[in-house]
Amino acid sequence: MAIYGYRCAQCADIEVAFPIGTAPATVSCPECGTTATRVFTPPMLSRTPAALSAAMQRAERSAHEPEVVTSLPPRRRAPARVATHPATRRLPRP
C-alpha cells in the first residue's frame, strides 16, 4: 500500500492509502465531501554519506562475488619511539 496526497480546496491536505498504481485522480474529502485532487510530491529520498554508501555497495557486491585473498598483506613496521625521559635513555631499543 502506498500513501497518496490529495488537496481539498476548502479544507486541508489529506493522505489516502491505495495499492500501488491504483490511485484515482480525485477522491471525495472525508470532512466536507467535495472533490480533492491528487498532489504529486517527490519521493522521500535522503542523501546517504559517501562512506556508508560505499560500505553498503561493497557488502552487497561481496554477497554475490566475494573477494578472494591469495596472500597476506605486507607487514608494516611501527616507527621507533625515542625515549625522552633521562631515566629511560639507557634502556635497549628495538
- 35 - beta bridge partners? 28
The per-residue DSSP string of the chain comes to: -EEEEEEESSS-EEEEEE-TT---SEEE-TTT--EEEEE-------PPPHHHHHHHHHHHHHHHSPPPP-SPPPPPPPPPPPP-SGGGTTS---
Domain ranges for the chain, please list them.
2-39
pLDDT over 70 (residue 51): yes
pLDDT digits (tens, 9 = 90+) for 54-70: 898 888 888 877 778 78
Tell me what the mean pLDDT of segment 17-41 comes to. 88
Distance CA(56)–CA(18), nearest Å, equals 31
The one-letter code for the residue type at 31 is E
Pick the CATH number of 2-39 from 3.30.70, 1.10.150, 2.20.28, 2.60.120: 2.20.28
